[in-house]
Structure 1
Amino acid sequence: MLLPQRLQIGDTIGVIAPAGPPNIANLKRAIPVFQKMGLGVRLGTHINNVNGYLAGTDEERLSDLHNMFADPAIKAIIFARGGYGTARIAPNINYNLIQQNPKIMWGYSDITFLHTTIYQATGLVTFHGPMVASDVGKDNFHDLSLKQFEQLFEPATLVYSEIASKLTVINHGIATAPIVGGNLSLLASTIGTPYEIDTKGKLLLIEDVDEVPYKIDGMLNQLKQAGKLANAAGILVGDFANAEPKEGKHSLTLEHVFYDYFSNLLIPIVSGFKIGHCQPHFAIPLGTTATIDTFRKIVKIDPGVR
């Protein structure tokens, strides 16, 4: 496990878009929010580029990622948005560069592919949290979501309980292990690639958005048949926004789908975490050690910075 250095007042963060093109107006609205935290903001060279559904060519997006990790003046990389595209650059990432220059990396959704590949290649703890243009720069960005950035300035154990949201126990148990995962569709897309998610002995976080129950069923089935569910030490089910079946279509409920895949696993499993495409969005470090205790309905997560 490789912990990045904490932020200090006066540090500069880098903002890049390794997947889809961000809404530039939202991005600009977010910059003063970070400046109010005492941080400088530097935008990636290609942040304004648009290449269809990508924020520039693969080479341009990869260049911004490498430049931010290589620049000693940049202390954290906060992604502008997700969308699609990080898997395309994964084979050409200089993982040695990242391991030799560990720093805070923060985002979610399509960034899940980067969380997975970078952690498995380098051991770097990264952060699953709200992004610059797709979250911070919007009018509905929640105060509790903004508060999540505090964990970057001071090492602190995070405790998630029913004070944050109602939690539902699917399977009882207690487990302590590194926490991995993120967006379910991205996790499923790693199967069969060199970057396949390693869940053995890990706490697995899953979340997603705009996926109807049968598609979630399909992705969980893929993880199940690849041995990724039975190998896990526990499962945290985050937010699944807009997961209702289409009107007039026969469907299982999302709860039924979770029951089918999780009820026979002899590991602790809890759903209801406000982690994902939601407001408020609780941010957590990935790769650090966490403890899930279903009897107390709490998850404790070790600090993500040193």
Structure 2
Amino acid sequence: MIKPERLKKGDTVAVIAPASPPSPNFLRKGISYLEEELGLKVKVGQHVYDHYGYLAGEDESRLIDLENAFLDKEVKGIFCACGGYGTARLASKINYSIISQNPKIFWGYSDITFLHTAISNSTGLVTFHGPMLSSDIGKEDCHPLSKDLFQQLFEPKEMLYTEEYSPLEVLVEGKASGRITGGNLSLITSSIGTPFEINTKSNILLIEDINEEPRSVDRMLNQLLQAGKLTDAAGIVIGDFHQCHSKRDKSLALEEVMDHYIQKAGKPAMKGFKIGHCSPQVSIPLGVNAEINTNEKVLMIDSGVE
């Protein structure tokens, strides 16, 4: 586990778009937040505003921006503009020695989950699951808490997620500890069978998703169960499943699907965490030690920076 160095006011950070094209207007507002509210200097990747169908430029262009951001000695942190789709296309092309030799803050979620997993497996670098500049921070209705939690990048501080953030529901009782890993369920599932397959062994698994019908969530959780990913985990943290309701008359409810698989896994588990495609969005480091305690309804997560 390698923790990146903390940020200081006046530091330079990079903005890249490794997945889909960001909204230019929202992205500019997100960048203004980094500059005006956090006191950072911003370098925008050369290809951030490129378009190649549903991708923010061709693979090679997005790869260049990613690797250049890690190579740039001035840059202390890297923020992703938005998600969508595209990071899995880059994973096998990345020179991971560049990242391991230049560890720094890397921040994003949703489609960025594939990069979180790939970077963790290949380098051991702690990365951050948090709101993105175009799709979240740059919007007028962005919740103040979503912005406030960027402060974890400036000062090492343990996070204690309690019901002060949101109501939590225990699915399987118990206490477990391990490194926290995961993110978007669709991307986690798509990593299985690749060189970047998620490792849940003795870890705390985080899952969240958006716009997936219960039967799709069922399919993905079934795959994780059969692949041993749910039973290998020490504990399970269920984040926000935004708009994951059925569009058909006959369906199981999302709650029924979730309960079925979490009970089969039999590992300490809670749901209701405001982590994922939600507002407010609680950002957390991935790859650090964490502990779930259902008796106290608490998730403790180590700091992600040094």
| 1:23, distance to aligned residue in structure 2 (A) | 0.3
Q: Which residue of 1 aligns with 2:141?
A: 140
| 1:113, distance to aligned residue in structure 2 (A) | 0.1
Of 31-40 and 153-162, the range deviating more from structure 2: 31-40
Structure 1, residues 63-117: CA drift from partner, whole Å, max 9, x if none?
Answer: 0000000001000000000000000010010111100100000000000000000
| 1:3, distance to aligned residue in structure 2 (A) | 0.3
Q: Which residue of 2 aligns with 1:9?
A: 9
Helix, strand or coil for the counterpart of 1:116?
helix
Q: Which one-letter code corresponds to 2:28 in the other structure?
A: K
2:225–2:265 contact (8 Å) kept in structure 1: no
Q: Which residue of 2 aligns with 1:112?
A: 113
2:200–2:232 contact (8 Å) kept in structure 1: yes
Q: Which residue of 1 aligns with 2:208?
A: 207
Helix, strand or coil for the counterpart of 1:263?
helix
Q: Which residue of 1 aligns with 2:57?
A: 56
Matched residues in 2 for 1:151 and 1:210: separation? 29
| 1:265, distance to aligned residue in structure 2 (A) | 2.8
Matched residues in 2 for 1:125 and 1:87: separation? 19
Aligned length: 305
Of 282-291 and 25-34, the range deviating more from structure 2: 25-34
Structure 1, residues 8-65: CA drift from partner, whole Å, max 9, x if none?
Answer: 1100110000000000110111222111211011100001100000000000000000
Helix, strand or coil for the counterpart of 1:182?
strand
| 1:144, distance to aligned residue in structure 2 (A) | 0.4
Q: Which residue of 2 aligns with 1:227?
A: 228
- The residue correspondences of 1:172-251 to structure 2 (distance < 5 A) are 172-246=173-247, 248-251=248-251
Helix, strand or coil for the counterpart of 1:154?
coil
Question: % of aligned pairs identical?
Answer: 54
**TM-score, scaled to structure 1:** 0.99
Give structure 1 stretches of 5+ with no counterpart.
none
Helix, strand or coil for the counterpart of 1:261?
helix
| 1:266, distance to aligned residue in structure 2 (A) | 3.0
Matched residues in 1 for 2:266 and 2:53: separation? 45
- The residue correspondences of 1:92-111 to structure 2 (distance < 5 A) are 92-111=93-112
Q: Which residue of 2 aligns with 1:291?
A: 291
Matched residues in 1 for 2:216 and 2:199: separation? 22
Matched residues in 1 for 2:65 and 2:32: separation? 22
